[in-house]
């Protein structure tokens, strides 16, 4: 039975816009919320999300950078990416990952006040699709 690799994971992630991002607060509580990957997927272990600076998810990431991203695709496909989040606040990076579809939330584009980019560097991918399941370790990647 064939298994997934990073190329097939990326292909599937391109079809899934929304994931549930789970963060851990400084009190140890898990917080989950929907996030859009903006179809910005050339997945090699990194994924990016735009958000606003003054949110609970940013406070959680500052307290504990470990996050979990849960995706549900077609044909009973489930992908879970665990990794570490880093906050990016420079417009050059914003421009590299910008997609016009998100201007509905960030009306001034990359100049939107208070905007921040979350960069999640995956360390492990788990996937399930019917009888297929597996894990891809990314922990040996350079930082």
Which of the four pLDDT bands, split at 50, 70 and 90, describes residue 140?
A: low
- The answer to pTM > 0.85 is yes
Instruction: Name which of 61, 68, 36, 39 is nearest 49 in CA terms.
Output: 36
List pLDDT tens digits, range 99-133.
888 889 999 999 999 999 999 999 999 999 988 89
In a domain, 43, yes or no: yes
pLDDT at 87: 98
- The domain that contains 19 carries what CATH number? 2.30.110.10
In a domain, 121, yes or no: yes
Which helix (H) or strand (E) is 86 found in, with range?
strand 77-88
Give me 107's structure tokens.
């009306």
Q: How far apart are CA 113 and CA 115, in angstroms?
A: 6
In a domain, 96, yes or no: no
In a domain, 128, yes or no: yes
List pLDDT tens digits, range 3-43.
888 888 888 888 898 999 999 999 999 999 999 877 666 66
Domain of residue 39, residue span: 6-49+56-89+117-137
Instruction: Name which of 80, 67, 68 is nearest 128 in CA terms.
Output: 80
Q: How far apart are CA 78 and CA 128, in angstroms?
A: 5
Indicate whether 143 pLDDT > 60.
no
| Total tally of structural domains belonging to the chain | 1
In a domain, 1, yes or no: no
In a domain, 101, yes or no: no
């Amino acid at each position: 039975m064939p298994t997934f690799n990073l190329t097939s994971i990326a292909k599937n992630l391109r079809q899934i816009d929304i994931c549930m991002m789970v963060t851990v607060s400084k009190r140890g509580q898990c917080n989950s919320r929907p996030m859009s990957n903006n179809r910005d997927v050339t997945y090699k272990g990194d994924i990016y999300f735009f958000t606003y600076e003054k949110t609970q998810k940013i406070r959680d990431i500052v307290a504990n950078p470990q996050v979990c991203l849960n995706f549900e695709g077609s044909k009973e496909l489930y992908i879970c990416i665990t990794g570490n989040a880093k906050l990016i606040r420079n417009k050059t990076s914003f421009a590299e990952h910008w997609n016009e579809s998100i201007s509905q939330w960030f009306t001034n584009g990359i100049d939107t006040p208070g905007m921040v980019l979350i960069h999640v560097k995956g360390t492990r991918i788990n996937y399930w699709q019917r009888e297929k399941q597996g894990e891809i370790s990314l922990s040996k990647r350079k930082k």
